Structure 1
Amino acid sequence: MHIIILFIHLMIALALIFTVLIQPSEHGGMGVGTGGRIDSFISGRSSANLLTKITTILAACFMVTSLILAIIAFQAKKISIVDQNIDNKAFINSPSPAAPLSQ
């Protein structure tokens, strides 16, 4: 089950990256060339085109699949690598270094 959700999650991530990259930049990007019209900056939701709506939907789906994968991982209760090293008997029972000899 988690493999299928992980595959869907990766496909959504790739689609999200693609839709963000194909959107046209406004005002030259990164604040360059901000001498344009200020009313285009203060426009309402009516200016949202199809690409921005698709990006919003994909971002919401990405968050949902992220939460689902986090819940699945929490329920699996897998032990981390650090915990495995602490619980390892060879690690705990290893001989300690010899104390320095006093003269």
Structure 2
Amino acid sequence: MALALKDRNPEMWTALRTAGELDAYLTEFAQMLVEAFRMSYDRASHTADVQNLPPMEKVGRLNALEKEIEEVVFAELLEFPEDDPENEESGEPGLEGVSP
């Protein structure tokens, strides 16, 4: 994740690293990823369509759901904010309004 942030928003990465907050930010962001995955998987796996399948088909469908949700969650949540040159009033470029 650190490399994704560094590639997507090098100023934010530098600001967090300089402030000593990079590890805490990435830890919180990772927890958010895990929670988003868990909630999506729980919701999708408890639908009647999945629950009413024969056992082996159910296992296959659950495995497919897991991979599909994993791809979506990572694609959406690893989109760190891009550098915003107009967001320099705070003295901490790219940190305003950013929360993991």
TM-score by length of 2: 0.30
Which protein shows a greater Rg?
A: 1
